[in-house]
Amino acid sequence: QTGTTLHVNEDQTILEVVTGAGVYVSTSCTEGTCGSCETPILEGRAEHRDVVLSPEEQEEGKTMMICVSRAACPKLVLDL
């Protein structure tokens, strides 16, 4: 929705980079346990590090918790 392209370094979370760019994302725990930052994936694959999504939901690849999960591909497109 924002049309913004951002680079996430290995020592950063997607959430940090997105909010640093001025994009509002609902968050609470920032530990992958509450689900408040669940974000739709439009393109690409996530490396899930949360405990919210079931293994089946993780395999579907429709959403991710951007506070802890990472991209498992060179380009990840999210619906922000």
Write out residues in the chain with pLDDT < 50, as ranges. none
Nearest one of 48, 38, 37 to 71, comparing CA atoms? 48
Separation between Cα atoms, residue 79 and residue 42, nearest integer Å: 6
Amino acid at the residue 15: L
What per-residue confidence (pLDDT) applies to 2? 77
Claim: this prediction has a pTM higher than 0.85: yes
pLDDT on residue 1: 76
pLDDT value of position 75? 95
Q: What does the pLDDT read at residue 3?
A: 85
Residues belonging to the chain: 80
Let me know if domain 14-78 sits in CATH 3.30.70.260.
Answer: no
